[in-house]
A and B are shown apart, each in its own frame.
Chain A
Amino acid sequence: MSFAALQDHALSRVLALPPRAKDLQRDLRNALLQARDNDKLATSPQEVFQLVTLLPELPDNVAGQLRAGGLHANAYCIAGGEKNQERDRVRRHFKRNDGAWFDFTITVREHGGQLELLAYDFEIRFPSGAGTPFLRFDLNLPGHRNQDRDLRSHLHPGSDDVQVPTPLMTPIEVLALLIDGLRLPADRDKPRGLTAFEIGWFRDTHASLTRAEP
């Protein structure tokens, strides 16, 4: 079955983005500071400033020359935290007040007074017992191979191999999900009890991991 129609639907939103990468960086940073002020984030304001970085395609002195010559030099990465593919707590990241922690990367291009959203990944990791070890929201690069399988906008629900289609979101919306959403409901003070199936699944998974260790 083709998921092309589903993907078209997921990507059909017109996003409200600020005009410049610097503006998006500032908006993300201010959302994090707001979360800090509301006690939803444990990361200090100083660290928020240090962790949200704008990385231009090239150093400013080189980029300036290229732009003056009409050549492209207008892609940016906005990084939130250190690059952390291994999910190592030692790498600098944002901490929620409930122990969850996250980081993100966004790739954009400035073009014609507008911002193009090219790709993003936002990954949040949860304390043990929270139901899943991590969630990652990905927006892949456009127009590549395996479009039928590789949904451009998707979620990894605790597995790098499993993908679930998600609607296209702005970086601010995904960040809001990570900060405010993805939490226990207000009327519950602990996670739901596990079913026998889940308990069995975790035990079997643990056993297979233990056997696989050298």
Chain B
Amino acid sequence: MGRTTPGELALRLRALRGTAAYAAYLAELADIEATLADLEDELRAIAPSGAVTRLSPHSGQQLVADLGASAVEIVVVDARRFSPADWALLDRRRSALAHRGVVIFVTTPSSFSELMRHATNLASWLGDVFAVPHDDATVEARREQRLTALRRWANRSDDEIVDAARAGTLPADPAYAEWLVLLGHGELLGHGVT
């Protein structure tokens, strides 16, 4: 399954405003709550005020009722608890799910597999389906790129920078602040502006 960050998914979903769109975002059960919070934050940051809501129905039946009562444009559905029977009911009641706006089902990969088996009509409506990224390889690669660039620019080693910071002789340039953080020595930075 393709992976994307909550922020990027939020932007994709915002691009679908004005349509009737259905999407799914997958995360492991332990990460669902954080994923829901992140996605909601991202959507609220780029959508007009009042355009985003979260539904946490305990069943498919409840979702039909809740969605019918909601006129909010972007609806994030906590679907982690949905069983095969819930998905099957949503498939039968698909017409009642019709919503002028964007609906995103946030659920686990195994629950999504059940959706694909038991809710084939609903599945045919789904456009974007992505999973949460789960490794930090990109961040670490970027950290290393920046450290390499800093070492080349200053013609100094990481140890020399840390020693200078401890001795109070490190220049005040912002590049050195970054260098210390990338090395995990934020404690040598002093105090900033709030």
Interface positions of A (Cβ within 8 A of B): 11, 14-15, 17, 23, 26-27, 29-30, 33, 45-46, 49, 53-60, 62, 72-77, 79, 82-86, 105, 107-109, 114-121, 138-146, 150, 152, 168
Contact = CB atoms under 8 A, between A and B. Distances in A.
Contacts of A115: 194
Contact of B174 (A15, A107, A145): A107
Interface stretch (B72-80, B82-90, B110-118, B184-192): B184-192
Given A55-B139, A59-B136, A74-B186, A30 B45 contact: yes
B17 interface: no
A117 B11 contact: no
A118 B185 CA distance: 13
A168 B184 contact: no
The range of chain B's interface size is: 35 or more
A47 B14 CA distance: 17
Nearest to B146: A83
Q: Is the interface of B mostly helix, strand, loop or mixed?
A: helix
A136 to B, nearest CB: 9
Contact of A72 (B136, B145, B186, B190): B186
Contacts of B181: 55, 57, 75-77, 107
B111 to A, nearest CB: 26
A119 B169 CA distance: 17
Nearest to B184: A58
Given A105-B178, A119-B174, A141 B190 contact: yes
A41 to B, nearest CB: 14
A145 B168 CA distance: 8
Contacts of A114: 194
B31 interface: no
A118 B149 CA distance: 21
B140 A119 contact: no
Contact of A49 (B7, B41, B173, B180): B7
A121 B146 CA distance: 14
B194 to A, nearest CB: 5
Given A118-B192, A121-B173, A152-B172, 6 more contacts: A49-B7, A79-B146, A82-B145, A82-B149, A118-B193, A139-B193
Shortest beta-carbon contacts, A-B, top 6: A75-B186, A116-B192, A119-B177, A140-B172, A83-B149, A118-B192
B97 interface: no
Interface string B5-35: 1011001000000000000000000000000
B174 A33 contact: no
Contact of B142 (A33, A53, A168): A53
Nearest to A59: B136
Contact of B7 (A26, A59, A84): A26
The interface centre, meaning the residue of B7, B176, B191, B192 with most chain A CB atoms within 10 A of its CB, is: B192
A83 B11 CA distance: 26
A109 to B, nearest CB: 6
A23 B37 CA distance: 13
B171 interface: yes
Contact of B178 (A17, A109, A119, A142): A119
